[in-house]
A and B are shown apart, each in its own frame.
Chain A
Amino acid sequence: MISLAGRDILHGWGKFVFTGAGLGLLLGVTLVMAGVYRGMVDDGMALLDNSGADLWVVQRDTLGPYAESSSINDDLYRGIRAMPGVAQAANITYLTMQVRKGQQDVRSMVVGVASGQVGAVPGWPTYLTAGRQMTRSHYEAVADLATGFRIGDQLDIRRNRYTVVGLTRRMVSSSGDPMVFIPLKDAQEAQFLKDNDAIWQGRRRTEANPTFNRPGVPGLLNAVQASQSSNPYVNAVLVTVKNGHDPTEVAAAIRRWKRLTVYSRTQMEEILVGKLIATSARQIGMFLVILALVSATIVAFIIYTLTMDKIREIAVLKLIGTRNRTIAAMIMQQSLALGIIGFAVGKISATFAAPYFPKYVLLVPIDSLIGFLVVLVICALASLVAIRMALQVDPAEAIGG
């Protein structure tokens, strides 16, 4: 038995392939849109993965350090480290700012990482694509590739100049800003120490305050001013848990005895996905639904027109006694073939287009699979309308009008 669908496709193959390609581009956009959502979630997950922490200790009653600002004393980590079940505890600071390189500036998240043996302290970039990890406790930086910086570049972060010694990849904040890692002490200074004018003005304000500038107490003013130019704060303490200990128990102990707020990995994911990117995610989800509807409508429309184009031939088929099943199968097969071509083109175009998006687009196989099934279902449903039309056609149309 010959395949009617195959014959028909061969007959008008150009039209068929180009329709499939056009449909494919539409499906590509849909897949990319799903990828944008996945990318947003992945940015958040990458942030958590890269920190290398099991627990995040933050200022009490805040959703820090990513979703809210949090500030705790930088010596608290020592007490936390002594808690049972804690393997490592390291200070960390996060500051989203414009990092300058010469004339250009790049929006980045500056991460201050505690010093220590590479590979032993959480918070450090987990892998590099070039260069080396920082070895000096000041004025070195490891930057994400997305910043566009190269090894040896000089960066200006607030008051100091840093040399890029290493490059990493996919180290981003929850909003997709690439990270720049610098030593903790420098980062604390960058967060706190103002520009020179502000410092001078602050000193003059203190000088003008009669409480701090008393003639009978020489040295008081200097002491007050010295106390004003230090920053003993960090944003969070990253904690890793010893093997065999339950993170939730360790977290409960820290919460109880250190009176700080502690988040576990699951809680952090909830905060990032459920709170930080919730609205943007819903926005994209809405777009995705609209795109899916539009695609379905267009597929239905294309199949319908393709069938209508050969309504005369179908009438002839009916006239020569072709069974309804054969005609229905032909339309259904064509529709599914169109869907398959469209999906392939869509998948390919999405994959090749993804890297060019300014923010991360993550194409997940499961999304593609679901997409494929949905496309097939849509094509099948769309063909039903066309099949109904074809079966209703009067064989007399083949010879008549």
Chain B
Amino acid sequence: MLASKMQLRRLILFAALFPLVLLFFYVVLRSGPLAPVEVTAVPVSTQVIQPALFGVGTVEARYSYQVGPTAAGRIKQLQVQVGDRVKAGQLLGEMDPVDLNDRLQAQQAAIKRAEANVQDAEARQRYAHAQAKRYGELLPLKATSEEIVSAKRQELQTADAALVAAREERSRLTSEYTGLCSQQGNLRLVAPVAGLVTLRGAEPGTTVVAGQTVVELIDPASVWINTRFDQIAANGLKAGLPARIELRSRKGTLLSGTIARIEPKADSITEEVLAKVLFARVPENLPPLGELAEVTVDLPPAAATLVLPNAALHRLDNRTGVWRVSKAGVEFVAVKPGATDLDGRVQILEGLQNGDRVVLYSAKALTRKSRIKLVEKLSVGRR
């Protein structure tokens, strides 16, 4: 009786302690460094990937025109506002002529005086010519002296020279007049092409220096995107490739375009390649210049090769490789990665066979000694 009671107690005690012991060993083996690392694996397979490049850029105008005076002066009037569409040859504004008209009148008067001088010189030259001729005919008849004839010929030469001088003076003044007239023409600020006014740099009454921009025009049809691609991921970029453009203000709307050109000069400071991307059709409501845009360029599909997700690539001892699942656990295999697409798939050029299984995700960093436990999905919580 006593013995059986004791036995019952012993049973109960063991019943209480047994789970404790089990739990203890479970805890020791399944947590901490002794525990196997949960991993998921993917097979290496042959696939065709479509590499793509991603860059950001700003909307810019290919052609922009800075209209301003050719000489320093004051603005008399400006007829256009920012946002106006103008036609080629349309008057945009005018500079104040200040004293230009008075100088033109003075110049006209000077020309008239020069004409009179020419007439005077012509009359003198005609007279001198006649005199020289007359005395020249008298000399063979011994009706005059050799000295007088020489004097008359010298007078003729002087009269010829005076006439040339008068004529040149007239043409100088005429040219000066033409110059002033064209300056008067330059006072008119005229649109060189049809376009959109993007800047009104100064207001009437402002004095501007020669060459300062008063009105800026752009050609709206020439709007393109100055795109920057990281040099490290710009392999294969060339003119003519199709591109998808997403403007920052129109998230979700993809516009199509093409690469117009790759700039021959890259930015050495930011390590970016610059490319100009043209819209296939410039949007109706023009995006503001300077707006940020994301550009995705689709490269031609690469030849079918072994492909892996980029999460499978790791680095160990300065070598890029993958953890291949083997019978013993995992082994690190160095691979040579190739092109990659924007969905994170990487070509594997060397190092793996079709059908090899490699570790994709792991619950912690793997080492050569890691014990692994293959699962469908990692059971990691929030840490």
Contacts and interface: CB of A to CB of B under 8 A. Distances in A.
Interface string A65-81: 00000000001000000
Given A127-B366, A169-B364, A344-B20, 12 more contacts: A88-B318, A115-B230, A115-B233, A126-B315, A127-B314, A127-B362, A133-B344, A145-B383, A341-B20, A355-B383, A364-B32, A365-B33
A52 B366 contact: no
Interface in A290-330: none
Interface in B43-99: 54-56
B310 A87 contact: no
A170 B381 CA distance: 11
Given A126-B314, A135-B54, A243-B317, A119 B343 contact: no
B363 interface: yes
Nearest to A350: B27
Contact of B27 (A118, A347, A355): A347
A166 B361 CA distance: 11
Interface string A106-119: 00000000011111
B104 to A, nearest CB: 30
A348 B365 CA distance: 25
Interface stretch (B8-16, B114-122, B135-143, B258-266): B8-16
B24 A348 contact: yes
B94 to A, nearest CB: 21
Contacts of A365: 28, 32-34
A360 interface: yes
A232 B17 CA distance: 65
Nearest to A75: B269
Nearest to A124: B315
Given A119-B337, A129-B362, A135 B310 contact: yes
Interface in A78-100: 87-88
A129 B361 contact: yes
Contacts of B366: 127
Given A138-B56, A365-B34, A115 B383 contact: no
A18 B317 CA distance: 52
A148 B28 CA distance: 28
B23 interface: yes
The 10 closest A-B pairs by CB, nearest first: A132-B344, A119-B313, A136-B54, A119-B320, A128-B311, A137-B230, A118-B310, A344-B24, A351-B27, A133-B310
Contact of A166 (B23, B212, B311, B314): B311
Interface of B: 6, 9-10, 12-13, 16-17, 20-21, 23-24, 27-28, 31-34, 54-56, 209, 212-213, 229-230, 232-233, 269-270, 294, 309-311, 313-315, 317-318, 320-321, 337, 340-344, 346, 360-366, 378, 380-383
A218 B17 CA distance: 88
Contacts of A117: 232, 320, 337, 340
The secondary-structure label for the interface of chain B is: mixed
B311 to A, nearest CB: 4
Contact of A137 (B55, B213, B269, B378): B55
B267 to A, nearest CB: 12
Chain A interface category by residue count: 35 or more
Contacts of B360: 128
A115 B365 CA distance: 21
A373 to B, nearest CB: 15
Interface in A247-278: none
A218 B364 contact: no
A297 B365 CA distance: 41
B9 A129 contact: no
Nearest to A131: B311
A115 B340 CA distance: 13
B252 to A, nearest CB: 13
Given A13-B9, A132-B344, A364-B32, A87 B318 contact: yes
A138 B311 contact: no
A181 interface: no
B213 to A, nearest CB: 8
Contact of B361 (A127, A170, A360): A127
Interface-central residue, A9, A10, A345, by most chain B CB under 10 Å: A10
A116 B231 CA distance: 10
Contact of A351 (B17, B31, B232, B362): B31
Contacts of A119: 310, 313-315, 320-321, 337
Contacts of B343: 132, 135
A30 interface: no
A139 interface: yes
